[in-house]
């Protein structure tokens, strides 16, 4: 990684920034704390200014937001048909001439975007109208049979009270309730006596009259008509003499009357018809706008282009904002990977009148990290990235990790048939769908993992479980089976367990070796010798013990091994407490360090998962085949077999590939990285074209 500094004429600023954006190799970042650029002309330093581009950026953000919401509207109302493999495919290619042709149509497309958004607003507004009107309509429906307007207040001598009560009433029961309530309030006062004959002008109503003749001395005569009633609500019209109104109203309120305010002069039936018409109108509006939106579905392409286009311009202005200008020139600072320096300098000098200088970044800077590996290793870079990028004191763990990654993945899936499927599928995706970036690396990673799976599957003799044996015995009546190239793990699981643990031991040793190398690289060779070298002595001694036990050469070798291990242990006791101050603390520190042997022990045991997952795949595959063969030979049996074969093995491959992937990551992260790797680096984020739908070819 190098520091790059570009000094050029102001008039070239835009085209240089555009060029850098297309090349995508420079991360623009100003040197921290250096306000003074490293070129002569001190008089001009104070006049170096930055452009205020955030106004433009906000503008672009607004436009981008608009275009994207237009796209979202299209996605919601006119969803595009996406193929199953859409997430694998790369961006569409666009040449530079096409690009400029399309960018000229930006205005027009923008207008379309506006139309689309306006249409979606219309739909939303119509939806609001519908919900609002519906609730009005529902409130009005109980009143459907009322043939006078709801605000009708009475005739010359009578008062009408139109309202609803929160319970179920009939005309009689309401009257009873009113009188009971009245009785409680006034104790049947004489002052409220009224003549029945005073009720006038009520006969014109079609509903039955209920006079409270017999109890006229207790409650004023009223006319009650129930319009509709249900358990929740009873709609009533109560008519009484004008003079009685306050009393009747008060009594009604005590029973729970609420007055509906309907400002119009039309009876409910008319209102209901109008509400219904309004809803129909809004629905027609929605249908109309949706149809128009569907007509815009061809705009999706140009909208996606526009979104990319404005994103690019926005990024460009953001970059421009980081430049510093004098009266005639400008300065651009940033990071560039070493491999790109030469090419960039050449091209820039050819096209522009510039001075390009490179220098090593200073020690205390937080230099961004760009991983760079050969094609076999680079597919696993994502795995390291999702853990943490290497800091500047770390080694790049990728090369060491890649080998074990593929090895362990294959060992855990360990079925040659599944490996072949993975290899074929990944090859097909790489060939026909042309994925990009991370997705491409992922697919490559699984391709290599698939190869390793075939390798291990062949060693263990597992092809879709024991497919050859089952098919040959069930359908051909012969007894053929593919012999494993090495050994069959199901009959000899102990051998596989030991193999797993040995591989784990090697993996951990490689991790320690990397730490040893890294410490030596930083000149801490003495620490490396004490911290790691002495552990190697212990492991070597224990290795001799275990080896001699396995070979049953007991006497001399085992004792020698024990002595070697003890010597290593003694060395650890003497050296591991060296950072402590007092002698006692040093000794305790040393003894405590011996406990980390349990850590190593459990780390190595952790690799038994290689065995377990490998066994599971093979045995489940075998079970699937056994179930499949229950139909016996013949056509029917073959059909059953094929169905069960496809379903069973798809499930098995899915769940075990998932298991292998997850556990191989864990082995790398927990067991391997903990030995030597710290992480904490910052990713290199070059200024480039970060479009979603299109990529641009350079016209040469």
Instruction: Output 270 or 623, the one with its CB closest to other proteins.
Output: 623
List, in sequence order, every residue forming a beta bridge with 682; answer none if it has no partner.
368
493 binds other proteins (CB under 8 A): yes
Determine the size of the site formed for other proteins (CB under 8 A).
27
Cα–Cα dist 354/129, whole Å: 63
Strand 682-683, strand 368-369: pairing: parallel
Position 619 contacts other proteins (CB under 8 A): yes
- Comparison of 186 and 608: residue with beta carbon closer to other proteins: 608
Separation of alpha carbons 15 and 348, rounded Å: 11
Nearer to other proteins, 183 or 637 (CB): 637
Which residues, 6 or more positions from 314, have their beta carbon under 8 angstroms from its beta carbon?
57, 60, 61, 64
Q: How near is the Cβ of 382 to other proteins at its closest, in Å?
A: 9
Of the pair 336, 664, the CB lying nearest other proteins is at: 664
Does 398 engage in binding with other proteins (CB under 8 A)?
A: no
Instruction: Report the nearest approach of other proteins to the CB of residue 494 (Å).
Output: 7
**What token pair was written down for 618?**
């093979």
SS (H, E, C) 568-637: HHHHHHHHCCCCCCCHHHHHHHHHHHCCHHHHHHHHHHCCHHHHHHHHHHHHHHHHHHHHHHHHCCHHHH
State CA 448 to chain mean position distance.
27
Give the nearest distance from C-beta 622 to other proteins in angstroms.
8
CA 339/CA 391 separation, integer angstroms: 20
Residue 73 neighbours by CB under 8 Å, 6+ apart: 116, 117, 119, 120, 293
Q: Find the distance separating the first CA and the last CA of the chain, reported in whole Å.
A: 28
Asked if 387 touches other proteins (CB under 8 A), the answer is yes
Indicate which single residue of 194, 241, 609, 649 sits in contact with other proteins (rule: CB under 8 A).
609
Binding residue for other proteins, selected from 620, 644, 653, 660, defined by CB under 8 A? 620
Position among 336, 573, 611, 660 found at the interface with other proteins (CB under 8 A): 611
**Per-position DSSP letters for 281-339, written without gaps between them:** HHHHHHHHHHHHHHHGGGHHHHHHHHHHHHHHHHHHHHHHHT-EE-SSEEEEEEEE-HH
Among 101, 584, 670, 683, binds other proteins (CB under 8 A): 670
Nearer to other proteins, 334 or 397 (CB): 397
Q: Which of 78, 168, 286, 612 binds other proteins (CB under 8 A)?
A: 612
Binding segment for other proteins (CB under 8 A), chosen from 420-428, 578-586, 590-598, 601-609, is 601-609
Residue 666 in contact with other proteins, rule: CB under 8 A:
yes
Provide the residue count of the chain. 700
Among 553, 566, 662, 683, binds other proteins (CB under 8 A): 662
Q: What angle do CA 462, 463, 469 make, to 5 degrees?
A: 90
Return the number of the residue (453 or 656) whose C-beta is nearest other proteins.
Answer: 656
Q: Indicate the residue among 324 and 609 with the shorter CB distance to other proteins.
A: 609
Candidate segments 17-25, 268-276, 634-642, 662-670, binder of other proteins by CB under 8 A: 662-670
Would you count residue 655 as binding other proteins (CB under 8 A)? yes
Of 123, 105, 116, 115, the residue nearest 74 (C-alpha): 116
Binding mask 302-341 for other proteins (x = CB under 8 A): ----------------------------------------
Site of interaction with other proteins (CB under 8 A)? 386-387, 493-494, 497, 605-606, 608-609, 611-613, 615-616, 619-620, 623, 626, 655, 658-659, 662-663, 665-666, 669-670
């Amino acid at each position: 990684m190098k520091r790059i500094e570009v000094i050029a004429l102001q008039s070239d600023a835009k085209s240089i920034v555009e060029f850098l954006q297309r090349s995508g190799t420079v991360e623009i970042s100003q040197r921290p704390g250096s306000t003074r650029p490293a070129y002569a002309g001190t008089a001009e330093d104070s006049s170096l200014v930055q452009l205020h581009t955030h106004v433009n950026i906000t503008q672009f953000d607004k436009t981008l937001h608009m275009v994207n919401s237009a796209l979202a509207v299209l996605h919601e109302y006119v969803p595009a048909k996406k193929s199953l493999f859409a997430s694998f495919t790369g961006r569409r290619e666009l040449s530079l001439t096409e690009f400029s042709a399309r960018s000229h149509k930006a205005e027009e497309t923008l207008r379309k975007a506006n139309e689309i958004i306006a249409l979606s607003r219309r739909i939303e507004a119509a939806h609001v109208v519908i919900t609002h009107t519906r609730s009005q309509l529902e409130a009005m429906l109980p009143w459907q049979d009322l043939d006078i307007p709801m605000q009708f207040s009475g005739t010359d001598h009578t008062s009408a009270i139109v309202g609803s009560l929160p319970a179920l009433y009939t005309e009689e029961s309401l009257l009873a309730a009113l009188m009971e309530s009245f009785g409680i309030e006034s104790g049947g006062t004489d002052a409220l006596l009224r003549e029945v004959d005073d009720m006038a002008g009520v006969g014109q109503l079609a509903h039955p009259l209920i006079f409270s003749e017999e109890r006229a001395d207790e409650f004023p005569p009223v006319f009650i008509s129930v319009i509709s009633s249900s358990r929740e609500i009873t709609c009533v019209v109560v008519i009484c003499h004008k003079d009685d109104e306050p009393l009747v109203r008060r009594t009604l309120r005590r029973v729970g009357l609420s007055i509906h305010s309907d400002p119009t002069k039309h009876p409910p039936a008319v209102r209901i018809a109008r509400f219904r018409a309004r809803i129909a109108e809004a629905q027609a509006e929605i249908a109309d706008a949706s149809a128009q939106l569907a007509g815009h579905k061809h705009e999706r392409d140009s909208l996606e282009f526009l979104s990319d286009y404005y994103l690019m311009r926005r990024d460009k202005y953001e970059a421009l904002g980081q430049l510093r200008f004098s009266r005639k020139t400008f300065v651009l600072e940033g990071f560039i990977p070493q491999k790109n320096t030469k090419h960039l300098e050449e091209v820039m000098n050819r096209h522009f009148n510039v001075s390009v200088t490179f220098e090593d970044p200073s020690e205390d800077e937080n230099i961004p990290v760009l991983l760079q590996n050969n094609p076999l290793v680079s597919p696993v870079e994502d795995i390291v990235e999702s853990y943490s990028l290497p800091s500047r004191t770390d080694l790049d763990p990728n090369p060491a990790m890649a080998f074990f990654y593929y090895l362990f993945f294959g060992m855990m899936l360990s079925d040659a048939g599944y490996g072949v499927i993975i290899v074929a599928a990944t090859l097909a995706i790489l060939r026909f769908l042309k994925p990009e970036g991370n997705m491409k690396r992922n697919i490559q990673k699984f391709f290599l993992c698939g190869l390793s799976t075939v390798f291990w599957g062949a060693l263990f003799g597992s092809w879709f479980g024991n497919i050859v044996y089952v098919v040959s015995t069930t359908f051909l009546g012969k007894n053929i089976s593919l012999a494993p190239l090495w050994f069959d793990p199901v009959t000899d699981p102990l051998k596989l367990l030991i193999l797993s643990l040995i591989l784990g031991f090697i993996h951990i040793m490689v991790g320690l070796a990397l730490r040893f190398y890294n410490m030596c690289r930083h000149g801490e060779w003495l620490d490396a010798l004490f911290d790691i070298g002495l552990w190697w002595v212990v492991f070597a001694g224990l290795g001799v013990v275990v080896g001699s036990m396995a070979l049953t050469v007991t006497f001399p070798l085992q004792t020698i091994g024990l002595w070697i291990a003890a010597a290593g242990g003694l060395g650890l006791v003497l050296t591991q407490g060296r950072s402590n101050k007092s002698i006692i603390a040093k000794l305790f520190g040393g003894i405590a360090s011996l406990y980390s042997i349990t850590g190593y022990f459990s780390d190595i045991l952790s690799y038994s998962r290689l065995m377990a997952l490998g066994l599971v795949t093979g045995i489940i595959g075998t079970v699937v085949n056994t179930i499949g063969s229950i139909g016996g030979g013949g056509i029917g049996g073959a059909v059953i077999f094929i169905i069960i074969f496809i379903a069973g093995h798809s499930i098995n491959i899915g769940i075990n590939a998932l298991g292998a992937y997850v556990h191989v990551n864990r082995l790398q992260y927990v067991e391997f990285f903990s030995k030597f790797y710290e992480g904490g680096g910052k990713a290199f984020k070059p200024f480039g074209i970060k479009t979603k739908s299109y990529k641009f070819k350079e016209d040469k």
